[in-house]
Amino acid sequence: MRDGPDISRIANLVGDPARANMLTALMDGGALTASELALEAGVTAQTASSHLGKLMEGGLLSLAAQGRHRYYSLAGPQVAAMLESIIGVAAAVGPQRTRPGPRDAVMREARICYDHLAGEHAVAMLDGFLARGVLIADGDEIRLGKSGPPHFAAVGIDTEAFRKQRRPICRACLDWSVRRSHLAGALGAAILDKIIAEKWARREAESRAIVFSPKGKMAFEKAFLA
Amino acid sequence: MRDGPDISRIANLVGDPARANMLTALMDGGALTASELALEAGVTAQTASSHLGKLMEGGLLSLAAQGRHRYYSLAGPQVAAMLESIIGVAAAVGPQRTRPGPRDAVMREARICYDHLAGEHAVAMLDGFLARGVLIADGDEIRLGKSGPPHFAAVGIDTEAFRKQRRPICRACLDWSVRRSHLAGALGAAILDKIIAEKWARREAESRAIVFSPKGKMAFEKAFLA
DNA sequence: CTCATACTTCGACGCTAATCGAACCGTCCG
DNA sequence: CGGACGGTTCGATTAGCGTCGAAGTATGAG
């Protein structure tokens, strides 16, 4: 009845909550294992496997098998752009139903995004890193600047050790609330670890929100924003 | 488990074939009645009404009630852009499954889009109209040029009669195969009517493809491309 | 008023698809 | 080797949704 490519087939793939969660978790361009994606989506491994199969068949994901791990990632920037635009519509249209309460304000300020910090503080932090040359934006990628390693070593984060991992050290991750990038990757994860370890902030129960203590916030700003 | 707006809710709305057809039919920015959309989607009026209700609740459509007609249109350019990007992914990913056979080549060349001509011939025709000033592009809209009415009157199409209808005379409709606009609206429908009435071309059975006869093609080009 | 048209609501049917338990293939490690 | 772990496949259950027939509401025409 209609011409053109099968748009509903693609949209239907994104239309399932579990699959949508998986896709958004991959939006930073990274690769995650099937188990990680199952956890992210909040479903069991079998269910996740079924979903991943459908996403593969639909051409939205690409797969890199390494040993007994299978790393899934988005099939390309076009897919990421599509998800972006859907998020845009959902954000423009969604507020009608989820009224922004105090919890949401906290979420906007600081929260956990997979394993790193997100929200206004995270965006400000990345801005600061880039402004001071601690990190350098290289197109889509982010690299350590010359002053990077000593800067992080001063607060007890060994960037040299990251190089041994397969995981990229720095990665930009789009922040839905601020609409700009924050820092993901191994370094982003290490910074979050430090925030938790130093007890500068604590996780809200049953939520992804992060609440800084007054003293913790000052220490955090001194360490990463100065 | 995940932050941000409810992306799966939006995608799910587009994920149904009937709804996807309705949305793509509205992608030219025009407004269509509930009955027209039902026809476009290939479902009954009741089913269409149910779908339209969901699309409204989801914030993807806006509604203008006029008498006993209810004109639905996309809620905004953001929605259109989202659909664009989904179409882009579907087109990039789809070809793997529907290999382009001879039937598809015919479809690309000429086919019916609701009630008007689409495909390469249709795009070339609109290009010609605009180049010669028969039609004038006015931003997103298309109007009749000064030479328009006599030009169409010469082939037996009375553009004056169109003015009595509520339906817009000219409308641009995005062509999925050529990725540029072709002519829709009352004038587009009248041209297709003439093509069929003069037996310049015939409809393929069970398909939306249109096949021109050699003589018919010459007559068509003489009438609309000269 | 009566009839026709445009559209929505109600109710019931059928089918798809999401989900999980359990069993089945691999790979890594001791 | 054998055991642990990561992933997928199979099967069965269940819930949700799309679909249409029929009835209901509103608008317009004669």
Please check whether residue A11 touches B, CB under 8 A: yes
Hits for CB < 7 Å against strand D across A residues 135-164:
none
- On the question of pLDDT at B148 being above 70, the answer is yes
Is residue B44 included in any domain, yes or no?
yes
One-character DSSP codes across B124-174:
HHHHHHHHHTSEEEETTEEEE-TTHHHHHHTTT--HHHHTTSSS-S-EEEE
Give the phi and the psi of residue B111 in degrees, each rounded to 5.
-160, 170
Q: Both B127 and B202 in a single domain?
A: yes
Residue B222 to residue B37: CA distance in whole angstroms: 34
Q: Both A72 and A18 in a single domain?
A: yes
Residue A131 to residue A126: CA distance in whole angstroms: 9
Q: Both B211 and B133 in a single domain?
A: yes
With an 8 Å Cβ cutoff, are B59 and A12 in contact?
Answer: no
Q: Which two tokens stand for residue B37?
A: 């959309």
Residue B125 to residue B131: CA distance in whole angstroms: 10
Of B180, B118, B183, B108, which Cα lies nearest the Cα of B152?
A: B183
pLDDT at B202: 82
Of B132, B197, B210, B170, which Cα lies nearest the Cα of B30?
A: B170
With an 8 Å Cβ cutoff, are A24 and B2 in contact?
Answer: yes
Per-residue pLDDT 10s for chain A (226 aa) are: 455 568 999 999 999 999 999 999 888 667 888 998 998 888 889 999 999 999 999 999 998 877 778 889 998 878 887 898 898 889 887 664 444 444 566 777 787 765 678 778 888 888 888 888 888 876 556 788 888 888 888 888 888 777 766 566 776 665 555 556 678 777 888 888 888 888 898 876 545 678 888 888 888 888 888 7
Q: Which two tokens stand for residue A41?
A: 């989506």
pLDDT by residue (tens digit) across A175-197? 555 556 678 777 888 888 888 88
**Bridging pattern class, strands A69-74 and B181-184:** unpaired
pLDDT at B168: 67
Cβ within 8 Å of B, A 45-104: 58-60, 75-76, 78-79, 81-94, 96-98
Evaluate whether A126 touches A183 at the Cβ level (below 8 Å). Answer: yes
Q: Both A72 and A164 in a single domain?
A: no
Is residue B74 included in any domain, yes or no?
yes
Q: Side chain identity at A52, as an amino acid letter?
A: L
- Judge whether residue A31 contacts strand D, using its CB and a 7 Å cut-off: no
- Judge whether residue B17 contacts strand C, using its CB and a 7 Å cut-off: no
Evaluate whether A216 touches A201 at the Cβ level (below 8 Å). Answer: yes
Residues in A touching B114 (Cβ below 8 Å): none
Q: Both B217 and B107 in a single domain?
A: yes
Is residue B87 included in any domain, yes or no?
no
Please check whether residue B11 touches A, CB under 8 A: yes
Please check whether residue B6 touches A, CB under 8 A: yes
Q: Both B133 and B206 in a single domain?
A: yes
- Judge whether residue B167 contacts strand C, using its CB and a 7 Å cut-off: no
Average model confidence (pLDDT) across chain B: 79
CATH number at residue B11: 1.10.10.10
- On the question of pLDDT at B151 being above 80, the answer is yes
For range B206-222, the mean pLDDT: 80
Percent of chain B at pLDDT above 70? 78
In this complex, the residue of B12, B84, B113 whose CB is nearest that of residue A15 is B12
Is residue B84 included in any domain, yes or no?
no
With an 8 Å Cβ cutoff, are B5 and A94 in contact?
Answer: yes
pLDDT by residue (tens digit) across B23-70? 998 886 678 889 889 988 888 899 999 999 999 999 999 988 777 788
Residue B95 to residue B109: CA distance in whole angstroms: 18
Residue of A nearest to B12 (CA): A15
Cβ within 8 Å of B, A 99-128: 107, 111, 113, 118
State chain B's maximal CA–CA distance in angstroms: 66
Range of the domain at B45: 7-78
- On the question of pLDDT at B177 being above 50, the answer is yes
Lowest mean pLDDT among A220-224, B18-22, B75-79, B171-175: B171-175
Question: What's the Å distance between residue B161 CA and nucleotide C26 C1'?
Answer: 73
Evaluate whether B13 touches B60 at the Cβ level (below 8 Å). Answer: yes
For range B158-167, the mean pLDDT: 71
Q: Both A118 and A199 in a single domain?
A: yes
Specify the number of domains making up chain B: 2
Evaluate whether A51 touches A16 at the Cβ level (below 8 Å). Answer: yes
